[in-house]
Structure 1
Amino acid sequence: MADFGKAILDGAGAFPLDKYQFLRRLREASTEQYYQLLCYYTQQVLPYIYTPTVGEACQQYHALRIKARGLYLRLDHRSSILSQLKAWPQKDVRVIVVTDGERILGLGDLGANGMGISEGKIELYTAAAGVNPAVCLPVCLDVGTNNVKLREHPDYTGLRAPRPIRQQVYDEFVQEFMEAVQAWQPHTLIQFEDFGNTNAFRILERYEDTACCFNDDIQGTAAITLAALLAALRVTGQRLADQRILFMGAGEAATGIASLISFCIHRRDGISEQEARQRCHLMDSKGLVVAGRTDLQHHKLPFAHANVPPCATLIEAVRAIKPTVLIGVSAVANAFTPEVLAAMAELNERPIIFPLSNPTHLAECTFEQAYRATGGRVLFASGSPFDTIVDERGVAHHPPQANNAYIFPAVGHAAVLTRAQRIPEEVFLVAAERLAAMATPAELEAGALFPPFSRIRAISADVMAAVAAHLVDAALGTAPEGWPAEQREGWAAAALRAMWSPPPPAAPSSRL
């Protein structure tokens, strides 16, 4: 079977975008062969169906003249969204990934080109957690774009208009979409993806208590980062409550991570969430988020601390706060300068450094930069993949990727299987703690905070079992039919059995 995967990928072209387009063509021409590649060679295919390649694909989506696989709902479809959904060929949809394209990765407003994000994420539900592709639907809410250059491009197929000035127009459109989905497919999971900061928080707050939904940028990113941090603390032997965590960035990812970390400290150590938030410090483009600033958005206020001095630069903040953990979610390339990395190494025996921004060229630092600056002592996780480093002893150090695909497909599939009414914050804490415990001592010693992605289905099954148990125990869902209700230790095996898979590749010479 190894030759099968190599044969397909070798025929895909030299550049990542060539492989991205090749895989799309393969999906159209030989669906079974495509899903064999996706499900049996997930680790090899992942960079080409999602990060880092999907960012470039979204930037060029219009110029590539890609045939969209998902459903576009345009602002001028108002009052007809339900009929648009009912007309869609798939009649049994259980998972929707939806974007409005306003904040694609760290690349900004890409409007209707954001469909590439929904398409990429929805494939990971199948690859990582075995959701049948027949029940998966990518959606793009096309409300226009403020990217003038893009909307004026002759090949752009989206709505050629700015985003709505009136918030009410936008909110009513999103509300109609949410109500239409619930009327069409009442037990469908909705994953929000790459909405702009202001809308992302408002939408999540509005619907999280009444719909089976979550925002992966806020909650999925928070869970994978918390899992990486908890795994790193298995190495240092320290408590989460004793960390000082500095974020470069103060958007939806940063505040989502900080909130889940604070919630975890609250649950583990019994201190108030307000006190737990004192461990988390955020920096935005104007400096450290501190009390007294009058320019702070609503989502930053819980982390505006009075007990720290104002700092204009990251190195000032590092020296003032003396963080044990440095997390980058700024989309500012090379923000973790050699001076910053050296300071982290001086402050900590095992500095924890997570440059999480995507795509690769926007990462705050590379693995090599962090490794060299800390003398190999860094505990590292990144948003995009980086190459392995082999030290002078010939030992390979593998930088783990804090990829949301370890979390969101398992959470989503568990919610689908249990027919969850909603997905509370505790779910992401459960998922993070389960994942954090999975790496073996040998893997941790080699710098791998997570088990290899090649084992993603077994990993997802464990996370699915933990999440499903929480949802059932919280009376937010029901045990899936056939799962041993009183024997939770059997749920991981049941989750594996519930996963859809294509037949294994039959011949290594098969290729498009």
Structure 2
Amino acid sequence: MTDFGKALLDAAGAFPLDKYRFLRRLRETSTEQYYQLLCYYTQQVLPCIYTPTVGEACQQYHALRIKARGLYLRLDHRRSILAQLKAWPQKDVRVIVVTDGERILGLGDLGANGMGISEGKIELYTAAAGVDPAVCLPVCLDVGTNNAQLREHPDYAGLRAPRPLRQQVYDEFVAEFMEAVQAWQRHMLIQFEDFGNTNAFRILDKYKDDYCCFNDDIQGTAAITLAALLAALRVTGKRLADQRILFLGAGEAATGIASLISFCIHRRDGLDQQAARQRCHLMDSKGLVVGSRTDLQHHKIPFAHNDVPACATLIEAVRAIKPTVLIGVSAVANAFTPEVLAAMTELNERPIIFPLSNPTSLAECTFEQAYRATGGAVLFASGSPFDTIVDERGVAHHPPQANNAYIFPAVGHAAVLTKSKRIPQEVFLVAAERLSTMATPAELEVGALFPPFARIRDISADVMAAAAAHLVDAGLGAVPEGWPEQREGWAAAARGAMWSPPMPTTPFSRL
């Protein structure tokens, strides 16, 4: 089946956007066959609907001549958002992925074109964790765009205005949306996606204690990165608390990852929170985040150091800090230069290097660059997929993709099934720790820090069971109806709760 899935997508066209458009048309014209392809050929379909293709699709969304499948809520819908939701054809929605398009991947402000990211992420709930697509809704809050070239394009369908100058206007619009969702459905999971840094943190802080919501860029990325790091430490045999972790980037992804790593160190090794944070060093466009700087945004301040010099370049920081782990969340292509990679190799027998920026064109380095520079010693994970390298012995080394789809669909589905009141930080720690144990010794030997994505539904079932147990034990949710009392049976129950399309009886004969 795998070969057929690849052949079918190859026949759809030579370029990634050809495959993207093919899948969009298939969803409209033959929904059952689309979901058969999505769910039974997930590993082949994923790059076509998610990273790396989704970034280009969002950039070109206005010119692709495709029908949006999600709900646009525009500023002129103020005081009528609840009516817009009630008028939507889907009446039993349980999962919303919502963006305002301000920071799509590392591509910047794409305004209403951000619908493409909500549409792509929502499909992963179905593909990876078996959420019924009938209860999933992608949403784009169209509040304008500061991308003048985009908003002046004749085919752009969004609001042709800059983003609101007054923060109050924006905040009231988001507040009305959140309140309307709560009034519309009895229980809703809300995933925030690709909001700008400032709004992302503010919105999450404001709503996380009163709504079943999370921000995937902050929390999902943190969990998958922590899982990759813990899996890498299975190879090195070192403690998390003994690592020195240097981040290139200090936005929502970096601070989210650093926060969860610090929390994990605190929980595992008993360090107080501030001491745990000191294991993480952040570097923004102005240099290392140090205590002497007066220009730090609030989310960077907990990670400011007073015991390191104010390095201006990455190579300076590597030489000063001597990191054991280097994580890229900067959206600066090739920032992990040969000099930086060589320095990491001199410092570490098995350097841990994670270039996480998306799309592929913005990755801090490629797998081949990291592999060659370290003589194959690198423990690697990336945000976008890279090709396997076969060494001189004929052994294939598989670069794992630190793909949020290993985490957020399972955590989200667990929250839906338990009807959790909220989603605490601890549940992402639980999910990360569970995932980090799943790669076999043989997989770790060839660099695969995670099991293959082809097994994603079984992986998700285990993560769902662990997440659901935490939510129930924390008093935030209830045991799902029909699940056994014995926790040993919860992974099987989670697998049984997954929606699947019918198995194709003939291989897509009408396509």
Task: Tell me how far apart the structure 2 counterparts of residues 442 and 406 of structure 1 sit (CA, whole Å).
Answer: 20
- 1:158 corresponds in structure 2 to 158
- Say whether 1:376 aligns with 2:376: yes
- Say whether 1:353 aligns with 2:389: no
- 2:37 corresponds in structure 1 to 37
- Say whether 1:233 aligns with 2:227: no
- Aligned residue for 1:214, secondary structure, equals strand
Task: Tell me how far apart the structure 1 counterparts of residues 267 and 243 of structure 2 sit (CA, whole Å).
Answer: 15
- Aligned residue for 2:161, secondary structure, equals coil
- 1:500 corresponds in structure 2 to 499
Q: Which amino acid aligns with 2:504?
A: P
Contact 1:244 1:280 in 2 (8 A): yes
- Say whether 1:463 aligns with 2:470: no
Task: Tell me how far apart the structure 2 counterparts of residues 419 and 109 of structure 1 sit (CA, whole Å).
Answer: 34
- 1:441 corresponds in structure 2 to 441
- Say whether 1:414 aligns with 2:414: yes
Task: Tell me how far apart the structure 2 counterparts of residues 6 and 492 of structure 1 sit (CA, whole Å).
Answer: 30
What are the within-5 Å matches in structure 2 for residues 307-318 of structure 1?
307-318=307-318
- Aligned residue for 1:353, secondary structure, equals strand
- 1:296 corresponds in structure 2 to 296
- Say whether 1:138 aligns with 2:160: no
- Aligned residue for 1:281, secondary structure, equals strand
Structure 1: runs of 5+ lacking an equivalent: none
Task: Tell me how far apart the structure 1 counterparts of residues 477 and 487 of structure 2 sit (CA, whole Å).
Answer: 15
Task: Tell me how far apart the structure 2 counterparts of residues 228 and 263 of structure 1 sit (CA, whole Å).
Answer: 16
- 2:488 corresponds in structure 1 to 489
- Superposed CA offset, 1:120-141 (max 9, x none): 0000000000000000000000
- Aligned residue for 1:298, secondary structure, equals coil
What are the within-5 Å matches in structure 2 for residues 34-433 of structure 1?
34-433=34-433
Task: Tell me how far apart the structure 2 counterparts of residues 176 and 88 of structure 1 sit (CA, whole Å).
Answer: 17
The TM-score with structure 2 as length reference comes to: 0.99
Task: Tell me how far apart the structure 2 counterparts of residues 321 and 228 of structure 1 sit (CA, whole Å).
Answer: 22
Contact 1:3 1:509 in 2 (8 A): no
Q: Which amino acid aligns with 1:57?
A: A
Q: Which amino acid aligns with 1:151?
A: R
Structure 2: runs of 5+ lacking an equivalent: none
Number of residue equivalences: 511
Q: Which amino acid aligns with 1:491?
A: W
Task: Tell me how far apart the structure 2 counterparts of residues 107 and 6 of structure 1 sit (CA, whole Å).
Answer: 28
Name the % identity: 89
With over 3 angstroms needed to count, the CA separation of the structure-2 counterparts of 1:374 and 1:3, relative to structure 1, is closer
Q: Which amino acid aligns with 1:274?
A: Q
Q: Which amino acid aligns with 2:493?
A: A
Task: Tell me how far apart the structure 2 counterparts of residues 492 and 139 of structure 1 sit (CA, whole Å).
Answer: 31
Task: Tell me how far apart the structure 1 counterparts of residues 64 and 508 of structure 2 sit (CA, whole Å).
Answer: 29
Q: Which amino acid aligns with 2:136?
A: C
Kindly state the Cα deviation for residue 506 of structure 1 after the two structures are TM-superposed: 1.0
- Aligned residue for 1:502, secondary structure, equals coil
Task: Tell me how far apart the structure 2 counterparts of residues 300 and 98 of structure 1 sit (CA, whole Å).
Answer: 25
Task: Tell me how far apart the structure 2 counterparts of residues 229 and 392 of structure 1 sit (CA, whole Å).
Answer: 27
Task: Tell me how far apart the structure 2 counterparts of residues 365 and 299 of structure 1 sit (CA, whole Å).
Answer: 26
With over 3 angstroms needed to count, the CA separation of the structure-2 counterparts of 1:152 and 1:418, relative to structure 1, is same
Task: Tell me how far apart the structure 2 counterparts of residues 510 and 414 of structure 1 sit (CA, whole Å).
Answer: 36
Contact 1:7 1:511 in 2 (8 A): no
- Say whether 1:23 aligns with 2:33: no
Task: Tell me how far apart the structure 2 counterparts of residues 368 and 218 of structure 1 sit (CA, whole Å).
Answer: 28
Kindly state the Cα deviation for residue 3 of structure 1 after the two structures are TM-superposed: 5.6
Q: Which amino acid aligns with 2:481?
A: E
Q: Which amino acid aligns with 1:74?
A: R
Contact 2:33 2:508 in 1 (8 A): no
Task: Tell me how far apart the structure 1 counterparts of residues 213 and 174 of structure 2 sit (CA, whole Å).
Answer: 13
Task: Tell me how far apart the structure 2 counterparts of residues 401 and 99 of structure 1 sit (CA, whole Å).
Answer: 23
- Say whether 1:9 aligns with 2:4: no
- Aligned residue for 2:104, secondary structure, equals coil
Kindly state the Cα deviation for residue 508 of structure 1 after the two structures are TM-superposed: 2.3
- Aligned residue for 1:35, secondary structure, equals helix
Task: Tell me how far apart the structure 2 counterparts of residues 259 and 72 of structure 1 sit (CA, whole Å).
Answer: 33
Task: Tell me how far apart the structure 1 counterparts of residues 58 and 6 of structure 2 sit (CA, whole Å).
Answer: 26
Q: Which amino acid aligns with 1:494?
A: A
- Aligned residue for 2:97, secondary structure, equals strand
Contact 1:101 1:111 in 2 (8 A): yes
Kindly state the Cα deviation for residue 441 of structure 1 after the two structures are TM-superposed: 0.3
Q: Which amino acid aligns with 1:380?
A: F
Task: Tell me how far apart the structure 2 counterparts of residues 340 and 423 of structure 1 sit (CA, whole Å).
Answer: 38
Kindly state the Cα deviation for residue 10 of structure 1 after the two structures are TM-superposed: 3.0
- Superposed CA offset, 1:406-465 (max 9, x none): 000000000000000000000000000000000000000010000000000000000000
With over 3 angstroms needed to count, the CA separation of the structure-2 counterparts of 1:324 and 1:511, relative to structure 1, is farther
- Aligned residue for 2:327, secondary structure, equals strand
With over 3 angstroms needed to count, the CA separation of the structure-2 counterparts of 1:377 and 1:4, relative to structure 1, is closer
Task: Tell me how far apart the structure 1 counterparts of residues 142 and 418 of structure 2 sit (CA, whole Å).
Answer: 31
Kindly state the Cα deviation for residue 6 of structure 1 after the two structures are TM-superposed: 3.9
Task: Tell me how far apart the structure 1 counterparts of residues 495 and 12 of structure 2 sit (CA, whole Å).
Answer: 31
Q: Which amino acid aligns with 1:440?
A: T
Kindly state the Cα deviation for residue 44 of structure 1 after the two structures are TM-superposed: 0.5
- Superposed CA offset, 1:452-511 (max 9, x none): 0000000000000000000000000000001012x0010000000000000111112524
Contact 1:4 1:509 in 2 (8 A): no
- Superposed CA offset, 1:296-336 (max 9, x none): 10100001110111000000000000000000000000000
Contact 1:4 1:510 in 2 (8 A): no
Q: Which amino acid aligns with 1:505?
A: P
Kindly state the Cα deviation for residue 11 of structure 1 after the two structures are TM-superposed: 2.5
The TM-score with structure 1 as length reference comes to: 0.99
- Superposed CA offset, 1:196-245 (max 9, x none): 00000000000000000000000000000000000000000000000000
Q: Which amino acid aligns with 1:152?
A: E
Tell which has more relative contact order, 1 or 2 (C-alpha 8 A, sep 6+): 1
- Aligned residue for 1:149, secondary structure, equals helix
Task: Tell me how far apart the structure 2 counterparts of residues 419 and 495 of structure 1 sit (CA, whole Å).
Answer: 14
- Aligned residue for 1:155, secondary structure, equals coil
- 1:450 corresponds in structure 2 to 450
Q: Which amino acid aligns with 2:400?
A: P
Task: Tell me how far apart the structure 1 counterparts of residues 269 and 372 of structure 2 sit (CA, whole Å).
Answer: 35
- Aligned residue for 2:353, secondary structure, equals strand
Kindly state the Cα deviation for residue 393 of structure 1 after the two structures are TM-superposed: 0.9
- 1:510 corresponds in structure 2 to 509
Task: Tell me how far apart the structure 1 counterparts of residues 390 and 271 of structure 2 sit (CA, whole Å).
Answer: 42
